[in-house]
């Protein structure tokens, strides 16, 4: 790994690289990725957990105790749990989301996959997700994993970000373009 260019820079990258190497040595990349994904989901679902993770008000001991209880209750153990506890102990819990994203990017790169962030106006059906995956696979030549978010303010359509490219096919953006064009004419 030493000669490769970093995917994400900074502290999150260092933690993610260390975790990736450890998970690789233990042949546990899949289980670690799954556990980290579950923890990330828990943070997104719970306002209290999100506040615990992001707030500097809580001490290292308080964060470690609380996170340990959450991990036990969620059934998350092993390398992923130890990693999250270490982040809490080192007062780096605020960056655990970035660390998980960097780890996920390393896993995808190792598997020859790409990751796309999709923001849609409404939840996508399984058929639409499969069509989107197939389209992105033919465009990139890689298997693509989708991270889908719903943003009703788009009105319709979707926004796809893959790597440094972004395709904005949202109705909101199209309406804004028409509004600007009309102002220029009138």
User: Distance between CA 47 and CA 84 in Å, rounded?
Assistant: 18
Size of the chain in residues: 186
Cα gap 177→155, rounded to integer Å: 14
* Residues 24, 107: Cα–Cα separation, whole Å: 10
- List Cβ neighbours of 172 (8 Å cut-off, separation of 6 or more): 153, 154, 155, 157
pLDDT for 8 beyond 70: no
Q: How confident is the model at residue 107 (pLDDT cuts 50, 70, 90)?
A: very high
- Please give the structure tokens belonging to residue 76: 């998350």
pLDDT at 10: 86
Under the banding of pLDDT at 50, 70 and 90, the label for residue 108 is confident
162: part of which helix (H) or strand (E)? strand 158-162
User: What pLDDT band is residue 49 in, cutting at 50, 70 and 90?
Assistant: very high
Query: What is the pTM assigned to this prediction?
Result: 0.69
Main-chain dihedrals φ then ψ at residue 93, nearest 5 degrees: -60, -30
Return the HEC string of 70-126. Answer: HHHHHCCCHHHHHHHHHHHHCCCHHHHHHHHHHHHHHHHHHHCEEEEEEEECCCCCH
At residue 4 the predicted structure's pLDDT band, cuts being 50, 70 and 90, is very low
Rounded average pLDDT over 160-179: 91
pLDDT of 2 above 60:
no
Q: Check if the beta carbon of residue 152 is closer than 8 Å to that of residue 186.
A: no
Averaged confidence pLDDT in the chain: 90
Distance, CA of 134 to CA of 113 (rounded, Å): 13
């Amino acid at each position: 790994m030493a000669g490769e260019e970093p995917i994400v820079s900074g502290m999150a990258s260092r933690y993610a690289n260390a975790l990736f190497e450890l998970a690789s040595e233990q042949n546990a990349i899949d289980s670690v990725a799954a556990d980290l994904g579950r923890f990330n989901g828990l943070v997104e679902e719970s306002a209290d957990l999100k506040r615990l993770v992001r707030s500097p008000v809580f001490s290292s001991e308080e964060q470690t105790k609380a996170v340990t209880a959450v991990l036990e209750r969620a059934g998350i153990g092993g390398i992923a749990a130890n990693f999250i506890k270490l982040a809490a102990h080192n007062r780096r819990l605020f960056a655990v989301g970035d660390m998980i994203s960097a780890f996920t990017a390393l896993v995808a790169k190792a598997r020859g996959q790409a990751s796309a962030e999709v923001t849609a106006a409404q939840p996508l059906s399984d058929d639409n997700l499969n069509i989107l995956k197939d389209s992105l696979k033919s465009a990139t030549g890689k298997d693509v994993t989708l991270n889908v978010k719903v943003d009703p303010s788009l009105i319709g359509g979707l926004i796809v970000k893959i790597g440094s490219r972004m395709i904005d096919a949202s109705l909101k953006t199209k309406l804004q373009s028409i509004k600007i064009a009309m102002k220029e004419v009138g």
